[in-house]
Amino acid sequence: MNVTILGLGYFNGITGYNIHTQYFFQALRHHFPVLEIDLQDTQRTIKKGIDLWVSSSKENPQTTHIIVHINQPDRINEYLGLPGIHIAFSIWESTLYPGNWLENLKKVDFIWTPSHWGEKILRENGVPKNKLGVIPEGVDTHQFNIETPLLPALTQYEGFKFVHIGKWEERKGTDLVVSAFENLFFDTKDVYLVLLCHNPFRPKFNIEKHLNQIAPKTKERILSINPVKDHQTIASILRSCQCAVFPTAAEGWGLPIIEAMACGLATVVTNYSAPTDYISPSSNLLLDYTLVDIKSPLFQSRNQQWGQWAEPNFDQLKEIMFDCYKDQQKTKELGISAASLIKANWNWNNAASKAAQFIQKRCTAASIN
C-alpha cells in the first residue's frame, strides 16, 4: 500500500524540537514521500501546504495519508481536521502530564514517544498501550563524531575541560554542575568548565551575575558561551572537551547527552528517564538518584501537583567529576566506547526505519479498517 506523510513541526532552529523535526523527517524521506510544514512559517505559507495536502488526499484515495505531529500537544487541535491518520510525537519529562496535553493526545490515532520510559509514563497517565509506539530520536553522526574539528576559541585554554549543555534551569541541573566544579577545583588551575546554557525563557537571567554568586572562586575558569547559530558549532564545542556532565532531573530524550557520547566524551548522566534507553555502565558514568515531588510549576495545575522527577546524588557527582579529572586516560577510553555505541545504534536512519516499520504494520491496517 502506498503511504505519504505530512510532517508538522518546528523545522527552523537548533532547539531539541527543531533538530528532531529536521532530521527525523529528512530520514523518513528514504521510506515515504514527506510534505513538510513548518509551523513557524506565515499563515499564508502554512495554508498553502495544508491545501496541497487536502488536494492530495482527494486525488489519491488509495494512498494512506499520515500526519505526524512533532510539536506541543496543545497545538494538535488546530490540525486534527486534516484528512488522514494522525500520529503525535510526545516528548515530556515529568511523571504527570498536563491535563490539556493528555486530552489532545488521546484524540490522535497513535502516539509515538522516544523511549520506553516515556511509554511507561504515558500508560501510567491512562493512554492505552495499543495506541503507543517507541520511536527513538537519533544523532547526526556525520556532524557529531570523534573526528569533528575542535573549536579554536576553546583550544587556547590548555587543560581538562568539563562541558554542560542545556538551558539553565532546575531540571537540567546546571546549578549542580557549577557548584560541584566550585567545590572541587577552586585551587586547580588546569581544569575548566564550558557552559552553553542560555535560556530564552528567562530573558532577565544574567549568567555572569549568577556565576559571581555561586562560583566566586572558579568563575574565571568557567567559560560561558553565547548562543550559537548552527548545530555544527555545538559538535565542535563538545569535541574540544573531555567530559560532559548532565545531572538531569528528567529528559524526554536528552539530545546533548547522546551528542556528547557520539563525540567521544565520557558522559556523566543521571540514570533515569529517557536516556536509560541508550546509556549503560559500560559506556557512561551513571548518577544514582531519589525520586522527589516537583516543586517548580511546570504547567497550570489546580491541585499544585506536577508529578515527580529525579534528584541526583550530589556527593556522587563530585566524586565522579574528580575521578574523571584524575584518571584522564580512563576518561578518554570511556568516551571512545560511548562513541562506538552511538555510531552503531542511534542515528536518525535507525529512528526512521523503526517509524516506517510501525507505519507499515499499524497504520496501513488502520487505514484498511
Q: Does 196 lie in the same domain as 56?
A: no
> What domain range includes position 128?
3-138+347-368
* pLDDT bracket for residue 304 (50, 70, 90): confident
The grid coordinates listed for 216 are 566566586
Q: Does 208 lie in the same domain as 162?
A: yes
Span 210-229, average pLDDT: 94
Helix (H, G, I), strand (E, B) or coil at 79: helix
* pLDDT bracket for residue 155 (50, 70, 90): very high
Span 284-302, average pLDDT: 86
For residue 6, the surrounding DSSP H or E stretch is strand 3-9
Cell 491512562 belongs to residue: 126
Under 8 Å between Cβ of 20 and 137: yes
147 domain-assigned: no
pLDDT on residue 293 = 95
Q: Does 173 lie in the same domain as 123?
A: no
Question: Under 8 Å CB-to-CB from 197, ≥6 apart: which residues?
Answer: 164, 165, 166, 167, 168, 172, 174, 207, 224
- Number of CB atoms found within 10 A of residue 231's CB: 18
Q: Does 245 lie in the same domain as 209?
A: yes
Q: Does 92 lie in the same domain as 60?
A: yes
Domain count, the chain: 2
The structure's pTM equals 0.95
pLDDT digits (tens, 9 = 90+) for 32-86: 999 999 999 999 999 999 999 999 999 999 999 999 999 888 889 999 999 999 9
Q: Does 134 lie in the same domain as 281?
A: no
319 domain-assigned: yes
322 domain-assigned: yes
Q: Is 343 a residue whose pLDDT tops 80?
A: yes
Q: Which of 288, 305, 237 is nearest to 265 (CA)?
A: 237
145 domain-assigned: no
CATH code, domain with 284: 3.40.50.2000
pLDDT on residue 72 = 84
| Phi, psi of 183, rounded to the nearest 5 degrees | -65, -40
Q: Does 157 lie in the same domain as 133?
A: no
127 domain-assigned: yes
Q: In 47-201, which ranges are E strands?
A: 64-70, 85-89, 110-113, 132-134, 160-165, 191-196
Q: Does 283 lie in the same domain as 206?
A: yes
Q: Does 110 lie in the same domain as 191?
A: no
Q: Does 340 lie in the same domain as 266?
A: yes
Cell 565542535 belongs to residue: 236
pLDDT digits (tens, 9 = 90+) for 11-22: 998 888 899 999
pLDDT digits (tens, 9 = 90+) for 238-277: 999 999 999 999 999 999 999 999 999 999 999 999 999 9
Q: Is 193 a residue whose pLDDT tops 60?
A: yes
Q: Does 190 lie in the same domain as 208?
A: yes
Q: Does 161 lie in the same domain as 66?
A: no
52 domain-assigned: yes
